[in-house]
Amino acid sequence: INRKLAGALTRYRADLLQIVERPDDDDLDDDLDDDVGDGTDSAEDRTTPPNERASEKRLYSEPAEFFGLLLNGKLEPVPVLDARLYNTLPSTRPFFSTHGEQGELRGVNWSRRFAMVELREYPASTKPGHLNKLLQLPIELILSQSFGG
């Protein structure tokens, strides 16, 4: 989310997307494995959170995480790499039905189905709240629009 949109999205508590530092997952796992069961933990080691014990931190991109959410349907950390996002970001396979507007996103150990609805031929006069009934349905809804022909 850039600074222009931040003001409009304040009611949704959206934060500005940025590059953030997080502990490297591998280092965090190694630290946790080393600490389990050896009986040599000091009081300081037991009270220090694992993220502060990690010796090496990696940079992660919050904008890329947002694009990954749109593309994959799942929020996952995306490290900053010297590669193009189209090579590293996709982690799911989308499948679409041949008849109808149904699809499925398949991950390694999960699956998520979705459907698309096209709204056409709006009445000549519309009022605010025209689509409120759609927003009140007990489903996740992503609304987009296109003015193309």
Question: Residue type for 89, please?
Answer: L
CA torsion through residues 4, 8, 9, 15, sign: positive
Q: How do the domains of the chain map onto residue ranges? A: 3-135
Q: In this predicted model, what pLDDT tens digit does every residue of 62-86 receive, in sequence order?
A: 888 888 888 888 888 989 888 888 8
Q: Which of 33, 25, 3, 7 is nearest to 16 (CA)?
A: 3
The whole-number pLDDT of residue 14 equals: 52
What secondary structure does DSSP assign to 72-92, as a single string? HSS----B--SS-HHHHS--S
pTM of the entire predicted model: 0.51
Q: Report the percent of the chain where pLDDT is more than 70.
A: 64
The whole-number pLDDT of residue 24 equals: 65
Instruction: Determine the average pLDDT of the residues in 22-41.
Output: 53
State how far the Cα of 17 lies from the Cα of 2, in Å rounded to an integer: 7
